[in-house]
Amino acid sequence: MRARLRRVIARQIERRSPSGVPPIRVSPRRLYILPTRFGGVFVLLMVGLLVGATNYGNNLAFALAFWLGAIALVSMHRAHRNLAGLTLVAIHTPGCHAGEALDVRLVWASRARRVRRSVAVGLGNGPTRTLDIGENQSVILSMPAECRGPQRVPSVCLESRYPLGLFRCWARLAPDHVAWIYPRLAPYSVSHDAGATPGGDPVSSSARPTGPASDDFVSHRRYRDGDALTHIDWKHSARYDYWLVREFEPPRQAPQAVFDYHALSGLAHETRLSRLARQVVHAARTGTTFRLVLPNGPIGPSHGAAHRRACLDALARLP
């Protein structure tokens, strides 16, 4: 019965929680407050003191009971005021692979001049982190990323027991934010990460000129219209009545890896994506120029962090 009642209350609170795309403001009407265990003991002590003062007609006991009641009322007001008006400005979720922990960065803002003390922030029913929130403050929380694809960020829970711990004030926000989870990384394999099929044959490779020409001198030739003046060898040209131009070795060629989804035809769909994700991460780590071929089209060739992120995003969004 108690568990059922808790579920009903939790659904009602979830239904009334502020939702939408950030920024989301914590409204004073969406805050809930109840006494803590320590607060309940404090109230019982105050009631017992008031009963004893009434029984014995002791004015000092009356004054102490009313003074403790005033402290409780002020504590309740301050706990409520500590959360009212807080604004969730933005949510940032850098990508992660399935099976890892997804870091969720929550950016908070407060228009009040005062600092919000000892505010506990958590995701869903997970662990919380306590911090002081000023005008602009961010907190990073982690949540498990179990499977590839879109994963909605759970509700954000705010809690305050400031200043005396007599009352627990809390609120829930339901931000509309989806994080994309990359495929789970396949186990490391030298042949697979180098761009080879399970049988050991290369998936594909091509050679294209990259970078400027080599600095290795080869020979001289006669000047032709359009040659760069910087390539003229003035010292040797002085011996002839025409200009001589230095010739260098052709540009060096670097291998270009191609990671093809269709080349992994003997594997399951998710296994293919895991293998491709491992190849992309390995190629980006070694600085290799690569091209990713997926059923919805190729990506690249290119290299660098932006190309790696674009390839992993495409793998995460693949049906």
DSSP for 172-194, please give it.
Answer: EEEE--EEEEEPPPPPP-HHHHT
Six-digit token string for 272: 């293919």
Q: Which residue range(s) make up the domain with 201?
A: 183-211+251-319
Which range (109-113, 160-164, 193-197, 270-274) has the least confidence? Answer: 193-197
Same domain, 145 and 243: no
Q: pLDDT band for position 186 (50/70/90)?
A: confident
Same domain, 170 and 96: yes
Same domain, 273 and 139: no
pLDDT for the residue 255: 61
pLDDT for the residue 196: 42
Same domain, 85 and 66: yes
Angle value at C-alpha 178, between 317 and 21, nearest 5 degrees: 140
Q: pLDDT band for position 297 (50/70/90)?
A: confident
pLDDT higher than threshold 70 for residue 169: yes
In a domain, 8, yes or no: no
pLDDT higher than threshold 50 for residue 56: yes
Model pTM?
0.70
Same domain, 148 and 187: no
CA 170 to centroid of chain Cα atoms: 25
Number of domains in the chain: 3
Mean pLDDT over each residue of the chain, to the nearest integer: 82
In DSSP notation, 267-312 reads S-HHHHHHHHHHHHHHHHHHT--EEEEETTEEEEEE-SHHHHHHHH
Task: Specify the 3-state DSSP secondary structure of 18.
Answer: coil
Determine what percent of the chain is predicted with pLDDT higher than 70. Answer: 85
Sign of CA pseudo-dihedral 44, 49, 53, 56: positive
Q: What is the DSSP-derived secondary structure letter of residue 95?
A: -
pLDDT higher than threshold 70 for residue 253: no
Q: What are 25's strand-pairing partners? A: 87
